[in-house]
Amino acid sequence: MSTPDKSNKAKRIEGDYHEPEYISIVVSDPTRIDEYITYKITTTTTFPEYKEREFSVRRRYKEFVNLRDHLKQKLSEKPKAIKFGELCPLPGNNLSSLFGQGSF
């Protein structure tokens, strides 16, 4: 009687496993500072271009308006990019409108 070869029991998958690349951006924590509101932007990613896997910054509402305007212009220059959908409208620029229209 022969002893079964243990190496045949566990099949090995050839090649290296690579974690899928992704980027997740969450806008939260609206905070009033003097006469304006800032938002916490937390980015989590596996893209190798970033040193950290997670980092946060705070930005003012008007910076979101400027970013949205810039993206809108870029999308209009490339009609094929429209297939990814429209840009969502921004909520109002005060805390009561933020909570009245849903989350950012």
Q: Is 3.90.480.20 the CATH classification of the domain at 19-100?
A: no
Task: Please check whether residue 72 is in contact with residue 89, taking contact to mean a CB–CB distance below 8 angstroms.
Answer: no
- Can you give the residue ranges of every domain in the chain? 19-100
Distance of alpha carbon 54 from alpha carbon 10, whole angstroms: 36
Rounded distance, CA 6 to CA 28, Å?
A: 53
64-91, pLDDT tens digit by residue? 899 989 988 888 787 666 666 677 788 7
Model confidence pLDDT, tens digit, residues 55-64: 999 999 899 8
pLDDT for 5 beyond 60? no
Does the structure show a pLDDT above 80 at 49? yes
Its pTM surpasses 0.85: no
